[in-house]
A and B are shown apart, each in its own frame.
Chain A
Amino acid sequence: MSNTVFIVDDHYMVIEGIRSLLQNEKNIECVGHATNAASCLSFLQQRQPEVILMDINLPDRNGIELCREVKQKYPAIFIIGLSTFNTQSFIGKMMESGASGYVLKNATQNELVEAITAVAAGKTYLSFEANKTLQKVKVNPVILTRREKEVLELIAQGLTNNEIAAKLFVSPTTVDTHRKNLLAKFDVKNTASLVRMAIQLQMID
């Protein structure tokens, strides 16, 4: 039983390259290719492969939109994003659109085969480098700029916007902007809860 694979990429050399990487794999069968989104969709009306390798840059539409549409119409098809872009946003958007995997075009034959097999089995797969890029993005704790720290301390001392402005040689509206940003960062609604949160997090004494 082999996994059927369909390739969507606007470059013939890429398509042929992938085909030749996969031709000796007994468990993977390339059932066709498309060089744009429209012909991909019309192929899918005839036949649905198990896995689609999908480039992100297509001439008529981008792969992220195409991915979403294919997943809506044919939820059973698994999609692997295929791109030279190793940036968090592209990888993230592709996965958000329903892709099950992401492989960079510098992937090795092993990675590609592994990706197809894993995805066809319902797992998610990120190629080594894509994975590394995603992992670098961590959830940030509250980080304040120096100016925000100054403003926060003066707020905690009970000074008004005008008093803080005079002390820091900035305009009162600037102080207010800092105050608003502080509220947003601590995710609180008013100055009193801001000060309480800041004390809890030991950002002021």
Chain B
Amino acid sequence: MKGNLVMTPDNTLAFQRSMDMLDSSIKEMRRVAHNMMPEALVKFGLDTALSDFCNDINQSGALQVNCQTIGIKDTVIDQTVAITIYRIVQELINNAIKHASANTAIIQVSKADDVITITVEDDGKGFDPAILQAARGIGWSNIGSRISYLKGKADIRSGPGKGSSVYIELNV
């Protein structure tokens, strides 16, 4: 590149910087794309994808997560539903790390007959659930639309200093 073009040192610097930015954008895009469709979810199903997700979080040291599934392993879950559940869990854990500064969390997904339940609890700061009515954050509105897409209902228990507990019931 440098051989074919005459560039002032300033331009060279700008050019280098652009290349670096491009590099980091590509990295970021790969990360996002990978998160969009976790490989383990497609290949091995929800149970494995969730436990991989927890292992990743645990290894990152951001949060200690305990993940339990009941009745998920040996059943077939529609992929759209599985992805939706995975996203909800991801978003809730994201909140526990980003907003609640929690140390530990529990993820639990269970399936009995046609009911799938998701429980995510953390020991973080907690919040007044009433503020969610007015919240404009993209996270909660995404969770909300995902739950209503699957005709589910959510029950959120929290309070300042009390951690939080989110319980979601889906009919599939």
Listed in ascending order, the chain A residues whose CB lies under 8 Å from chain B are 62, 85, 87-90, 93, 133, 136-137, 140, 143, 145-147, 170, 173-174, 177, 180-181, 184-185
User: Could you list 15 A-B pairs, sorted by A, with CB under 8 Å?
Assistant: A88-B52, A89-B48, A93-B44, A136-B59, A137-B51, A140-B68, A143-B68, A145-B165, A146-B165, A174-B169, A180-B110, A181-B70, A181-B110, A184-B71, A185-B68
| Contact of A145 with B59 at beta-carbon distance under 8 Å, contacts A88-B51, A174-B169 already known | no
The chain B residue with its CB closest to the CB of A174 is B169
**Cβ of A89: which chain B residues have Cβ within 8 Å of it?**
40, 44, 48, 51-52
Query: Do A87 and B106 touch (CB < 8 A)?
Result: no
**Cβ of B71: which chain A residues have Cβ within 8 Å of it?**
184
Q: How many residues does chain B have at the interface if contact means C-beta atoms less than 8 Å apart?
A: 28
The chain B residue with its CB closest to the CB of A132 is B59
In Å, the complex CA distance between A140 and B68 comes to 9
Question: 1/0 per position for B36-63, CB-CB distance to A under 8 A?
Answer: 0001100110001001100110110000
A interface: dominant SS: helix
**Cβ of B108: which chain A residues have Cβ within 8 Å of it?**
145, 181
The chain A residue with its CB closest to the CB of B52 is A87
* Interchain CB contact (< 8 A) of B110 among A62, A85, A90, A184: A184
In Å, the complex CA distance between A59 and B56 comes to 26
**Cβ of A147: which chain B residues have Cβ within 8 Å of it?**
119, 157, 165, 167
Query: Do A177 and B117 touch (CB < 8 A)?
Result: yes
